[in-house]
Amino acid sequence: MRNRIYVNLENILASLDRNIFGGFAEHMARCVYEGIYDPTSPLADENGLRPDVLDAIRRLRMPLIRYPGGNFVSGYNWRDGVGPRDQRPARLDLAWHNVEPNTFGTNEFIQFCRLVDTEPFLVVNCGDGDMREARDWVEYCNGTADTALTRLRRQHNFAQPHNVRYWGIGNEVDGPWQIGYKTPQEYARAFTEFGKLMKWVDPSIKLVASGISHWEGAVLERIRLLIEQASDLLDYIDIHWYFGNRANDFAAFMTVSEIIEERLSGIEGMIRGVKLDRGIQRDISIAVGEWNVIYRTDETQGIEEIYNLEDALVIAMHFNAFIRHARSVRMANIAQIVNMIAPIRTHPNGLVLQTIFHPFDLYSAHCGSAALDVFWTGDTFSGGDYTGVRVLDVAGTLNEATRELALFVVNRSQHDTAETEIQLAAGALTGSVELYTVNGADIKTENTFSATDEVGVRHTTLPASGRTLSLGFEPHSVTVLVSKVQ
């Protein structure tokens, strides 16, 4: 037995915030138009939404969805997207070099959120937009006083406030590609002033600052200035990344877990360090506001990635990292939800659940209320810049109400089953162990419009009792193991 997973049910790291299962929808190519909103489709309902897409999104149980961008938001004026559709202006979208028709906007997005049981998370334009637009958007959405903006919302048939709780200020402001790129100093000032006014309009909102997406310098300075200048306004610092396997090197791709670990523990340390230095008590969490795999496509091709099994393993490793960092990672938003770099791809007659849909679905379904500090040892491998990386990537949660243990195990071996013993420090597994395995013929297997189920989930059970369980994890697989514990 070369691998061992040690579980102590009392080693609780933190409560797990279900907001790690968030999504992101941007006005970009086929995400909003055709993906979410497609009034010309024979499959669409009376609001132009496709029930098959809504059902697939509901299955992922996303607690919140970030909108409307992304790079798009840095040139967006929310007023263009409200009111009678035939009076809305078409505008040039300089982020994606497109014409934005504005036939889908704030109210349509919020209605869509209600239909898929999710909270809207709106990002204000801190690129070419100003703080007046930002505070007005908060007032339009959440205001209750009798003002021009709340009357405008009522005129648009929304008598009740939308109560949008999560608000981001700007997107990837640290990237030179962004409309309205900002230096660390400029952004800390902008965040402070935007945030102050937005909270004066509605003190109950949570604010998300644009943190790091360009991991090439000034990381510490950005975090430091934000916390020093705006700690009383700041609820989350938003960080973004995308990974890829351009070199077609499976072992190297499987070590992205190490980069995620370095980045999360680095940002955690920076937040803690600045708070310690300045005597700040307030909780400031990490939001991983965009994350996924992108490398095959680019803007000119619409960034519609077709995902394979190895990408699904990378998605699972992200969730494992978010669980292991549950104390600080309190939100994450997979980018995106439909068509663009997404778990769901539509075509005129239906949709396909991409490989990455399945780990998302399983983690979201089985994650418990508390993140456990699980320890594991075993076989190792080398890839990219890393050596001695454990073949298994593991995380665990406990559902404190139902006393259900969930273990999440990625076997990163391309060819070998990982024979493993799971040991509880105390207590026992009871009843049967439910195993849900995501796998396919090989690491390059994809789900496509013509072959939709090449990678899926297999459900099996094992009898369980006592403190140990021996089993083998299949090569290139993600397994979620669920068992009652006493």
Residue of 68, 69, 343, 359 that binds ligand AHR (CB under 6 A): 69
By C-alpha distance, which of 471, 171, 139 is closest to 336?
Answer: 171
Contact in structure between 131 and 196 (CB atoms under 8 Å): no
| Least distance to ligand AHR, CB of residue 302, Å | 11
- Residue in 238, 290, 305, 393 binding ligand AHR, rule: CB under 6 A: 290
- The distance of closest approach from Cβ of residue 31 to ligand AHR in the complex, given in angstroms and rounded to an integer, is 9
Catalytic residue among 172, 305, 310, 434: 172
Question: Does residue 172 touch ligand AHR according to CB under 6 A?
Answer: yes
Interaction pattern, residues 13-42, with ligand AHR; x per rule: CB under 6 A: -------------x----------------
Nearest approach, Cβ of residue 453 and ligand AHR (Å)? 27
Q: Is 34 a residue of the active site?
A: no
For residue 381, give both structure tokens.
């491998």
Site string for ligand AHR, 181-210 (x = CB under 6 A): ------------------------------
| Residue 299 falls in the annotated catalytic set | no
Binding string, residues 327-356; x marks residues near ligand AHR by CB under 6 A: --------xx--------------------
| Distance in angstroms (rounded) separating the CA atoms of residues 324 and 347 | 37
- The residue type found at 467 is R
236-243 vs 206-212, strand pairing mode: parallel
Kindly report the backbone phi and psi dihedral angles of residue 249, in degrees, each rounded to the nearest multiple of 5, phi listed first: -125, 100
Secondary-structure breakdown of the chain: helix, strand, coil percentages, each rounded to the nearest 5: 30, 30, 40
* Least distance between ligand AHR and beta carbon 213 (Å): 6
What values do phi and psi take at 7, rounded to 5? -120, 120
Catalytic annotation, pick one of 108, 290, 310, 434: 290
Q: What are phi and psi of 5, to 5 degrees?
A: -120, 120
Stretch that binds ligand AHR, among 66-74, 225-233, 352-360, 431-439 (CB under 6 A): 66-74
Q: How many residues bind ligand AHR (CB under 6 A)?
A: 9
| Residue 5, Cβ density class (10 Å: 0-12 exposed, 13-18 middle, ≥19 buried) | buried
The yes or no reply on residue 239 touching ligand AHR (CB under 6 A) is no
Measured from the CB of residue 399, what is the shortest distance to ligand AHR in angstroms?
A: 32
**Nearer CB in complex with ligand AHR: 178/483:** 178
- Using CB positions, name the residue nearest to ligand AHR: 70
Compute the distance between CA of residue 480 and CA of residue 482 in angstroms, rounded to an integer. Answer: 6
- Taking the complex as a whole, the smallest distance from the CB of residue 107 to ligand AHR amounts, in Å, to 22
Long-range contacts of 380-385 (CB under 8 A, 24+ apart): 381/251, 381/254, 381/412, 381/413, 382/251, 383/249, 383/250, 383/251, 383/252, 383/253, 383/254, 383/255, 384/249, 384/251, 384/252, 384/253, 384/255, 385/255, 385/258
Catalytic residues: 172, 290
Q: What is the contact surface with ligand AHR in residues (CB under 6 A)?
A: 26, 69-71, 171-172, 290, 335-336
